[in-house]
């Protein structure tokens, strides 16, 4: 049977060609058969999936029509799901059963989607390779000795191998776009504030944003429609007029001005990635877009600024895991201090501890001005660069990642090397802008992504450009042969 997109499955559901239950069974069977090779799921929820699928089938039988109704999805294990284990990839939350459901997931559930399970991720979303997960690394379905990217590597690998037609991710510095690129799928990081962060376990609150991951831009638009919207339980979520992200997908892109930041095509970019991105840009030019060289002069400061701001916020957010209220608690503590320190020492992995230490340091009285305050100023400069760029162009394009997926273990000993994986994605989070990654080519059986960055709340345009690109290319339809 052809493994359809969400849009394709939806048509077949309404043609009564398949039921939601059969669809859930099909994907659960694929997870059963293939996930031992990938480790893309931390928890699979077959009973809940079948229950939700049956409910969807009843709604469909009554004549209800809705774009997500009856369609299976996987949820990144950073989203709280009531009654279902929610680990955030950490030993700290290994046994944590969430008492409520994240708004983004709740909205997808109400739209009728069927959760298959919770996907693997870097611990507390800190990483670019999925190797920091307490539940073990995820493998890239295109080449099993390579990483799938991170932190939403489980979601990306699951969608690439078609163990789920779509999934959610979160992106603090690139964690939707980079794994989407590494696995050959489409992933959208929305404007900060578009998607409620309520129930999405916090890493760096001023940067974190949830978003969709699927094979096509059209499917991402369908998911985004369900996920967005103001939420009284997240004061940073933004009230916007209701938008249908699928409505403008077919519009032409003639005359669209695409900015190519000089800084995204310089040193450090793998020539084979560059070649792929260049040919992808040529496709857009063929469609009538105009390519304009631009500059984002403060780009080189984005990784350093991020690695002050993100650890600062994470050190504060992760202070809640103290062994008292929830999460891992050490055995027979001697006293309160022992309870705190041992629970945290045992519950957190090395990368999380590194970040907490850096964050605590940059926020400490003596260093706050020198590091944290300075980083916040740099953040403003980076946002200003984009503001100036968007005065000249409609969207910005470039590579998502400077290289193709690397081998497992290749960067584990060198955190700074790992941090540079996000060199083209991080500035977007610092500025709060939307960005996406589309599959743009394959180099030696490894996928390469092209990134598109938009102005605030311009997701519809980004999706339109990506969809137009996908009319002329078939990279997004390719799947790794081993999972056919």
Compute how many other C-beta atoms are within 10 angstroms of the C-beta atom of residue 385: 22
* 280 belongs to the binding site for ligand GLN (CB under 6 A): no
| Cα–Cα distance for residue pair 311/302, rounded to 1 Å | 14
Active-site residue, 151 included: yes
| Cα–Cα distance for residue pair 435/458, rounded to 1 Å | 9
| Least distance from ligand GLN to the Cβ atom of residue 304, Å | 13
Say how many residues touch ligand GLN, by CB under 6 A: 13
Active-site residue, 412 included: no
Q: In a 3-state reduction of DSSP, which class is residue 168?
A: strand
* 123 belongs to the binding site for ligand GLN (CB under 6 A): no
Compute how many other C-beta atoms are within 10 angstroms of the C-beta atom of residue 252: 11
Among residues 151, 209, 299, 468, the one that binds ligand GLN under rule CB under 6 A: 151
* 128 belongs to the binding site for ligand GLN (CB under 6 A): yes
* 450 belongs to the binding site for ligand GLN (CB under 6 A): no
Residue tagged active-site, from 40, 90, 175, 315: 175
| Least distance from ligand GLN to the Cβ atom of residue 469, Å | 24
User: In 4-124, at which residue ranges do the beta strands (DSSP E only) sit?
Assistant: 41-44, 72-76, 114-119
| Cα–Cα distance for residue pair 135/75, rounded to 1 Å | 16
Q: Which stretch, 6-14, 170-178, 359-367, 403-411, contacts ligand GLN (CB under 6 A)?
A: 170-178
Active-site residue, 421 included: no
| Least distance from ligand GLN to the Cβ atom of residue 127, Å | 5
Compute how many other C-beta atoms are within 10 angstroms of the C-beta atom of residue 335: 7
| Cα–Cα distance for residue pair 426/423, rounded to 1 Å | 6
Residue tagged active-site, from 76, 143, 189, 411: 76
Task: State the DSSP string of 127-160.
Answer: -SSSTT-TT-PPPBTTBTTB---SSSHHHHHHHH
Residue 293 φ/ψ, nearest 5 degrees: -75, 135
- Which one, 289 or 309, has the nearer CB to ligand GLN? 309
Among residues 67, 89, 148, 174, the one that binds ligand GLN under rule CB under 6 A: 174
* 451 belongs to the binding site for ligand GLN (CB under 6 A): no
| Least distance from ligand GLN to the Cβ atom of residue 297, Å | 23
Dihedral, CA atoms, 36, 154, 213, 409, nearest 10 degrees?
-120
Task: State the DSSP string of 177-226.
Answer: HHHHHHHT-EEEEPPTTSB--TTB--SSTTT--EEEEESSHHHHHHHHHH
* 173 belongs to the binding site for ligand GLN (CB under 6 A): yes
- Which one, 125 or 137, has the nearer CB to ligand GLN? 125
Residue tagged active-site, from 90, 113, 151, 299: 151
| Cα–Cα distance for residue pair 338/361, rounded to 1 Å | 22
- Which one, 113 or 172, has the nearer CB to ligand GLN? 172
Among residues 73, 125, 137, 195, the one that binds ligand GLN under rule CB under 6 A: 125
Among residues 109, 175, 216, 451, the one that binds ligand GLN under rule CB under 6 A: 175
- Which one, 125 or 430, has the nearer CB to ligand GLN? 125
Cis geometry, peptide bond prior to residue 151 (ω within 30 degrees of 0): yes
* 127 belongs to the binding site for ligand GLN (CB under 6 A): yes
| Cα–Cα distance for residue pair 80/101, rounded to 1 Å | 5
- Which one, 125 or 163, has the nearer CB to ligand GLN? 125
Among residues 106, 131, 171, 385, the one that binds ligand GLN under rule CB under 6 A: 171
Q: Which stretch, 124-132, 139-147, 216-224, 321-329, contacts ligand GLN (CB under 6 A)?
A: 124-132
| Cα–Cα distance for residue pair 321/335, rounded to 1 Å | 17
In the complex, which residues of this chain contact ligand GLN (CB under 6 A)? 125-128, 151, 171-175, 203, 310, 422
Catalytic residues, which ones? 76, 151, 175
């Amino acid at each position: 049977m052809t493994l359809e997109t969400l849009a394709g499955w939806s048509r077949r559901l309404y043609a009564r060609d398949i039921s939601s239950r059969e669809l859930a069974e099909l994907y659960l069977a694929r997870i059963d058969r293939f996930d031992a090779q990938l480790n893309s799921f931390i928890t699979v929820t077959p009973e809940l999936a079948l229950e939700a699928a049956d409910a969807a089938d009843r709604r469909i039988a009554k004549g209800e029509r809705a774009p997500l109704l009856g369609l299976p999805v996987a949820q990144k294990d950073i989203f709280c799901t009531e009654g279902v284990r929610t680990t955030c990839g950490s030993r700290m939350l290994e046994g944590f059963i969430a008492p409520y459901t994240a708004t983004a997931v709740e909205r997808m559930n109400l739209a009728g989607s069927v959760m298959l399970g919770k996907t693997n991720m870097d611990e507390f979303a800190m990483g670019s390779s999925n190797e920091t997960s307490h539940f073990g690394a995820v493998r890239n379905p295109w080449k099993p000795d390579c990483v799938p990217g991170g932190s939403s590597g489980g979601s990306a690998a699951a969608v690439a191998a078609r163990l789920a037609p779509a999934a959610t991710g979160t992106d603090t510095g690139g964690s939707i776009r980079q794994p989407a690129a590494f696995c050959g799928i489409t992933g959208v990081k929305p404007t900060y504030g578009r998607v409620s962060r309520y129930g999405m376990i916090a890493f760096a609150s001023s940067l974190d944003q949830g978003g969709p991951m699927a094979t096509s831009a059209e499917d991402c638009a369908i998911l985004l429609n369900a996920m967005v919207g103001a939420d009284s339980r997240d004061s940073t979520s933004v009230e916007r007029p209701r938008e249908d992200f699928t409505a403008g997908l077919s519009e032409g892109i003639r005359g669209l001005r695409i900015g190519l930041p000089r800084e995204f095509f310089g040193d450090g970019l793998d020539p084979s990635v560059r070649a792929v991105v260049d040919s992808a840009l040529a496709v857009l030019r063929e469609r009538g877009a105009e390519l304009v060289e631009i500059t984002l002069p403060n780009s080189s400061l984005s990784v350093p600024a991020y690695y002050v701001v993100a650890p600062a916020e994470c050190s504060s957010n992760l202070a809640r895991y103290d062994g008292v209220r929830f999460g891992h608690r050490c055995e027979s503590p001697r006293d309160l201090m022992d309870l705190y320190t041992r629970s945290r020492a045992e519950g957190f992995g090395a990368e999380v501890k590194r970040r907490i230490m850096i964050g605590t340091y940059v926020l400490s009285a003596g260093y706050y001005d020198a590091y944290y305050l300075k980083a916040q100023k740099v953040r403003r400069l980076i946002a200003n660069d984009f503001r100036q760029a968007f005065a000249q162009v409609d969207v910005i394009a470039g590579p998502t990642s400077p290289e193709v997926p690397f081998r497992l273990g290749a960067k584990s000993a060198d955190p700074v090397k790992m941090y540079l994986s996000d060199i083209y994605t991080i500035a977007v989070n610092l500025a709060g802008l939307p960005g996406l990654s589309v599959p743009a080519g394959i180099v030696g059986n490894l996928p390469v992504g092209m990134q598109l960055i938009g102005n605030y709340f311009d997701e519809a345009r980004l999706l339109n450009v990506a969809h137009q690109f996908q009319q002329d290319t078939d990279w997004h339809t390719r799947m790794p042969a081993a999972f056919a």
